[in-house]
Amino acid sequence: MSIRKLIATGCVIAAAAVSAQSTFAGDKLRIATEGAYAPFNMVNSEGQLVGFDVEIANALCVEMKADCDVVAQDWDGIIPGLRARKYDAIVASMSITKERLRVVDFSEKYYSNVLAFVGPKGADMGVTKAALKGKTIGAQRATIAGQTLEDVYGDTVNVKLYDTQDNAYLDMSSGRLDGLLSDKFPAYDWLKSTEGKKFEFKGADIDINDKIGIAVRKGDKLKGKLDKAIKAIVANGKYAEINAKYFPFSIY
Amino acid sequence: MSWEWEIIWQYLPKLLDGAWLTLELIALSGLFGMLLALPIALMRASKNAWLRAIPFAYIFFFRGTPLLVQIFLIYYGASQFEVIKESFLWPILKQPYWCAIIAFSLNTAAYSAELLRGAIQSIPKGEVEVCEALGMSKPLMIRRVVLPRAFGIVLPAYGNELLLMLKSSALASTITLLDITGMARTIIARTYTPMEMFFAAGMVYLVIAALMIATFRFIEFRLNRYQYYHHTPLPKTLDPQLRDEHLDT
């Protein structure tokens, strides 16, 4: 009896191991996000990653019938980490740029980004290059906003680059900055907060034809699957449902 | 992964701009740190228990917490208080440059004060007794004997401390300063060549460290001359009657 039981147990364990392995080898996807870019990706009070990006990532995984694991990774190491195979995709509100396309592939866009200046409420702040001359303007390092600020305004404006958007907000509310150049949607979220109430958008939106996509390693077949899944969730209304939770307007 | 040497050459001038800021940071913090460490070390070496106790908390805090935390407390922490934002300190604390220098100075002062205290206490007792026997006043003794001797003793260890500070100064990049590391990270954000840029940044640090080591060796050589003294051999043609056999070897 004991031998029979032993064999039976052995079989069960082996079967479990095999099935566990097959799900692991199957579609276990590791997806990186930053976790400091509200409302797209942030860490809630329970320490979990939440936000628009995370919900989109999960919706895509459901659509692709993949088992996903969303992990947090600092922004300026996020592309090197992808290339080092620490994860398979980046869903972190990343703009599709020529420079990035040299080192990674991107899915189709999953939303479109515009930039906007933020300044103190009531302050008369022009956003032309001449009007901003000598002002201290902040942005996040390694972002489109940061690069636009450096490239377009860098010679006349005092540019300050931050590791995270949160640190830029902190310095905006402490008065070290005259203004911020930021992606509009996360700033929209911040302006609703207690700290952000004292500030408002200045000037018109800056459309820099900025499409946000999902980064994968060069030549990875995952790109095709993601493209299909994005199309599917836009078509079946899942996308609009997530969008409406965060913004009263469509950001696709 | 391909290695792009051109990128290093293309951005080297920017890295050198960063190197200049790093040098400024460590020179100023080293100076302020030393000025602060001096009185603290004298207090720590004092025979009076109260005087010894006063700087204890300060040294304990700055040696016991990470420098990054200290920088964040001074830069992001201080700006949370309306009192500070309305005070005369704000024009200084508003600038990341001065916040970094304040944090580095306070940090290095805590370490160097302990180094100096050790050096002061390791001065041979006889030398202090000689001063007392000669009737020197305390300030005169400190100025003429204790500090010059302590500096000679502390130099190798202090050189170490400055080298550590050179590398800690990379943390300035976390509060928007474009030092070597900050510059390298900003360039990497644009070019996605972390290997090349961090390699180049490392080399710049290495060159600065080499210069600092050489400078300290030189000062050590000057200040502790007696340790490097060699007898000059007497000329062979010297009159044998003038020879002193103790000096001959």
Residues with Cβ within 8 Å of A169's Cβ and at least 6 positions away in sequence, in order, are: A180, A190, A195, A196
A167 token code pair:
């640190």
Residue B169: is its pLDDT beyond 70? Answer: yes
Taking 70 as the threshold, does the pLDDT of residue B248 lie above it?
Answer: no
| B192 and A CB contact within 8 Å | yes
For residue B126, count other CB atoms closer than 10 A to its CB: 9
Kindly report each contact of residues B49-55 with a partner whose C-beta sits within 8 Å and lies 24 or more positions away, as own/partner.
B55/B113
Q: State the smallest CA–CA distance between residue A199 and chain B in angstroms.
A: 17
Q: Considering only CB atoms, which chain A residues are within 8 Å of B73?
A: none
Subunit contact A79:B192, Cβ cutoff 8 A = yes
Q: Does pTM top 0.80 for this prediction?
A: no
Pairwise CA distance, residues A53 & A72, whole Å: 12
SS3 B179: coil
Which residues from chain A sit within 8 angstroms of residue B183, using beta carbons?
none
Contact B208, B165 (CB under 8 A): no
Q: Could you tell me the two tokens for B158? A: 């202090």
User: Which chain B residues are within 8 Å of A103, Cβ to Cβ?
Assistant: 192
Q: Give the whole-angstrom CA distance, residue A22 versus residue A28.
A: 10
3-state secondary structure of A40: coil
Segments of chain A assigned to CATH 3.40.190.10: 28-112+212-246, 113-209
A186–B contact, CB cutoff 8 A: no
Distance from the B86 Cα atom to the nearest Cα atom in chain A, whole angstroms: 11
Whether B192 sits inside 8 A of A160 (CB atoms) is no
User: Would you say A181 and A114 are in contact if contact means Cβ atoms under 8 Å apart?
Assistant: no
Contact A141 B186 (CB under 8 A): yes
Domain spanning A28-112+212-246: which CATH class is it, in words? alpha beta
* Cα angle value B52/B53/B56 (rounded, 5°): 100
Going by C-alpha positions, the residue among B61, B38, B173, B193 that lies closest to residue B109 is B38
Return the pLDDT at B166.
96
How far does the CA of residue A2 sit from the closest CA of chain B (Å)?
A: 57
Token pair in block for residue B23: 């040098």
Q: What digits encode the pLDDT tens for the residues A135-174?
A: 999 999 888 899 889 889 988 999 999 988 889 999 999 9
**Which pLDDT value is given to residue A6?**
60
Q: Please write the tens of the pLDDT for every residue from A9-37.
A: 655 555 554 444 443 445 689 999 999 88
Q: Do A99 and B188 touch (CB under 8 A)?
A: no
Question: Which is more confidently placed, B232 or A206?
Answer: A206
- Give the separation between CA A1 and CA A177, rounded to whole angstroms: 78
Which are the contacts of B168, defined by CB distance < 8 A and separation ≥ 6?
Answer: B67, B104, B107
Q: How far apart are the first and last CA of chain A?
A: 64
Q: How distant is the Cα of B34 from the closest Cα of chain A, in angstroms?
A: 30
Tens of pLDDT, residues A164-214: 888 999 999 998 999 999 989 889 989 988 889 999 999 888 888 889 999
Residue A217, pLDDT score: 95
Percent pLDDT > 90 in chain B is 70
In whole angstroms, what is the distance from residue A170 CA to residue A173 CA? 5
Per residue in A122-134, pLDDT (tens digit) is: 888 888 888 899 9
B187: closest chain A residue by CA: A142
* CB contacts < 8 A (A, B): 50
Q: Copy the structure tokens of residue B245.
A: 């056999």
At the fourth CATH level, which superfamily is domain A113-209? Periplasmic binding protein-like II (3.40.190.10)
Work out the minimum CA distance from A101 to partner chain B, whole angstroms: 11
| ipTM tops the 0.90 cut | no
- Residue A47, number of CB atoms within 10 A of its CB: 8
Residues B40-69 have a mean pLDDT of 93
Identify all chain B residues contacting A147, using CB atoms and an 8 Å cutoff.
189-190
Instruction: State residue B183's pLDDT score.
Output: 94
> Which value, to the nearest 10 degrees, does the dihedral of the CA atoms of residues A221, A226, A229, A233 take?
180
- Interhelix angle for B5-44 vs B56-64, to 10°? 160
User: Do B186 and A167 count as a contact with CB atoms less than 8 A apart?
Assistant: no
Look at residue A18 in the predicted model and tell me its pLDDT: 46
| CA A165 – CA A215 distance, rounded (Å) | 20
The DSSP 8-state label assigned to residue A198 in this structure reads G
Q: Calculate the average pLDDT of chain B.
A: 91
pLDDT value of position A23: 39
From chain B, the residues in CB contact with A77 under 8 A are 194
Which superfamily does B5-227 belong to? MetI-like (1.10.3720.10)
Average pLDDT of the residues in B66-72: 95
DSSP string spanning B120-158? Answer: HHTS-HHHHHHHHHTT--HHHHIIIIIHHHHHHHHHHHH
Closest CA to B31 of B114, B102, B116, B119: B102
Nearest to A177 by CA among A214, A212, A128, A132: A132
**Coil, helix or strand at residue B106:** helix
Query: Is the per-residue pLDDT at B132 higher than 70?
Result: yes
Least confident interval from A87-91, B92-96, B218-222, B230-234 = B230-234
Is A174 an 8 Å CB contact of chain B?
yes
Nearest CA in chain B to A158: B176
Residues of A in contact with B96 (CB under 8 A): 160, 176
**Min distance A181 CA to chain B CA atoms (Å):** 15
Contact B20, B212 (CB under 8 A): no
pLDDT tier at A220, thresholds 50, 70, 90: very high
Q: Span B4-17, mean pLDDT?
A: 92
Q: How much of chain A, in percent, has pLDDT values that exceed 70?
A: 89
State in Å, rounded, how far the first CA of chain B is from the last one.
63
Q: Is A100 on the interface with B (CB under 8 A)?
A: yes
Are B76 and A174 inside 8 Å of each other by CB? yes
pLDDT recorded at residue A25 = 41
Could you tell me if B94 lies within 8 Å of chain A, comparing CB atoms? yes
Assign A3 a pLDDT band (cuts: 50, 70, 90). Answer: low
- For residues B164-176, give the mean pLDDT: 94
Enter the tokens of residue A203: 């000037």
> Over chain A, what is the mean pLDDT?
87
